[in-house]
Amino acid sequence: MFKKITMAAAGLAMTFAASSAMADGHMLKIGVEGAYPPFSEKTADGTLVGFDVDIAMALCEKMGKKCELVEQDWDGIIPNLLNKKYDAIIASMSITEERKKKVDFSEKYYNTPSRFVAKEGVDWADTNEGLAGKTVGVQRGTIQHDYLLAVYPDADVKPYGTAEEAYLDIEAGRLDAILVDSLAVDGGFLKTDAGKGFAFFGGDHSDPKYFGDGAGVAVRKGEEELRDAFTKAIQEIRADGTYEKINMKYFDFDIYGG
């Protein structure tokens, strides 16, 4: 009996040792979403690809660490970072005040505005009055969701678990409009077959009060060393052209933003 308990305790101790080694040593686990093309998506054979994924790999290389990607639904992406399922999030996560209460961010690695998308040729204004009574889809728990709830109280806001589900429903005719990051919806929807007949309307939405200062790498609070290592690596890949190479693979202009 006693032996069993000691063995169990030893096993536990080893697990703890292993998990803390993960954070300090050379093995780094990175949480990605995998349902946000072209930033992160899964190919038919299950490999994770996309801008976020390539950036993650480039950053790891610069930091001299081996990285493992962990796929995670958006809904649980911050809780599971705090639960130590992975050590950092590279998932197009915008740096906002609300999120800073929970996690620390590196410097941004890109910054693009959000825009509304609807059927081609609609003449709606992208204001609360213009969208009053319209059904607007958005990904739950995103900056766009908070922005719609705060600034568009008269629109009928439908929250979805992933951006892809919102694309399915606007294509099916269930939504009048969606609000998404302009690049994500451009590459992930408008330029695909499903997005034929849909287009942007209205202007850019990027009020820093809601949209923050661009997308950064999120780490647990108190891990300044890891955070600063990511910031340094971002500056390095900006400087040595790696960033530009990845950028041009997906987009035809520099998405780092001003």
CA distance 257 to 247: 12
Does 113 engage in binding with another protein (CB under 8 A)?
no
Query: What stretch of H or E contains 91?
Result: strand 88-94
DSSP string, 15-81: HHHHHHHHHHSSEEEEEE-SEETTTEEE-TTS-EESHHHHHHHHHHHHHT-EEEEEE--GGGHHHHH
Please identify, using beta-carbon distances, which residue of 175 and 226 lies nearer to another protein.
175
Partners of 88 in the β-ladder:
30, 219
Q: Which of 7, 19, 66, 75 binds another protein (CB under 8 A)?
A: 75
Length of the chain: 258
Q: Cβ contacts of residue 123 below 8 Å, gap of 6+?
A: none
- For another protein, the closer CB: 82 or 132: 82
Q: Which of 134, 158, 205, 227 binds another protein (CB under 8 A)?
A: 158
160, 210, 211, 230: which one contacts another protein (CB under 8 A)?
160
Q: Under the criterion CB under 8 A, does residue 98 sit at the interface with another protein?
A: yes
Residues between 134 and 153 that touch another protein (CB under 8 A): 137, 140-141, 145-146, 149
Distance CA 107, CA 48 (A): 24
- How far from the centroid of its chain's Cα atoms is residue 87's Cα? 15
Q: Which of 64, 173 has the CB closer to another protein?
A: 173
For residues 35 and 48, what is the distance between their CA atoms, to the nearest angstrom? 9
Q: Which residues pair with 48 in a beta bridge?
A: 42
Q: Does residue 99 belong to the site contacting another protein (CB under 8 A)?
A: yes
Structure tokens at 54: 């390539």
For another protein, which stretch binds (CB under 8 A), given 113-121, 163-171, 183-191, 243-251? 163-171
Nearest approach in angstroms of CB 194 to another protein is 12
Three-state DSSP class for 210?
Answer: helix
Contact 32, 68 (CB under 8 A): no
The one among 39, 74, 152, 201 contacting another protein by CB under 8 A: 74
Given 61, 80, 228, 236, the residue binding another protein (CB under 8 A): 80
Residue 212-231 contact track with another protein, rule CB under 8 A, x = bound: --------------------
Q: Which stretch binds another protein (CB under 8 A): 4-12, 155-163, 188-196, 245-253?
A: 155-163
Closer to another protein by CB, 165 or 223: give it: 165
Instruction: Please report, as ranges, the residues that interact with another protein according to CB under 8 A.
Output: 74-76, 78-80, 82-83, 98-99, 102-103, 137, 140-141, 145-146, 149, 158-161, 165, 168-169, 171-174
